[in-house]
């Protein structure tokens, strides 16, 4: 992707970084994504696309340990709750105000992508 801008952040600043960046008239929130880095670390990615632009994407990212809590952005982007809950279900990452149990059935493996699925 030619026009992908990656912005590294931290758990302490990610919410403010997104708040300063996000203008709902210019940017659409695509998703919150998780990528397993190693057995203890997951990279959380907040992905945005520019309206009326072809292939212009901005991705904020933070590497998170399972013991850490990611701040919610639902006060900035209410629809992010769905993506946040998916991360909680699939990776076992704690995200403020995001409950477990949106995507997985009762008989599913709990947090199937945590620790790279190991």
**What CATH number did the domain enclosing 10 receive?**
3.30.460.80
With DSSP H G I counted as helix, E B as strand and the rest as coil, what are the percentages for the chain, rounded to 5? Answer: 20, 35, 45
Find, among 36, 34, 32, 42, the residue nearest to 67 by Cα.
42
Name the phi and psi angles at 39, rounded to 5: -60, -25
Average pLDDT over residues 38-55: 94
pLDDT for res 99 = 75
Overall number of domains in the chain: 1
So what's the pLDDT on residue 76? 97
Model confidence at 111, in pLDDT bands (50, 70, 90)? confident
Lowest-confidence pick of 8-17, 54-63, 93-102, 109-118: 109-118
In this predicted structure, what is the pLDDT of residue 1? 57
The proportion of the chain whose per-residue pLDDT surpasses 90, expressed as a percent, equals 70
Domain residues for the domain of 66 are: 3-117
The band of 114, judged by pLDDT with boundaries at 50, 70 and 90, is: confident
Judged by average pLDDT, the poorest of 11-20, 65-74, 76-85, 93-102 is: 93-102
The 8-class DSSP code of residue 104 comes to -
What pLDDT shows up at residue 118? 65
């Amino acid at each position: 992707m030619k026009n992908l801008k990656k912005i590294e952040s931290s758990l302490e600043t990610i919410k403010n970084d997104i708040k300063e960046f996000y203008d709902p008239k210019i940017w659409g929130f695509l998703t919150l994504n998780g990528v397993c880095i190693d057995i203890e670390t997951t990279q959380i990615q907040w992905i945005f696309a520019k309206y009326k632009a072809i292939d212009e994407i901005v991705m904020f990212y933070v590497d998170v340990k399972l013991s850490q809590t990611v701040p919610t952005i639902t006060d900035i982007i209410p629809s992010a709750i769905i993506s946040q809950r998916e991360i909680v279900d699939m990776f076992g990452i704690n995200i403020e105000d995001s409950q477990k149990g949106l995507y997985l059935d009762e008989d599913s493996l709990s947090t199937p992508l945590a620790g790279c699925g190991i």
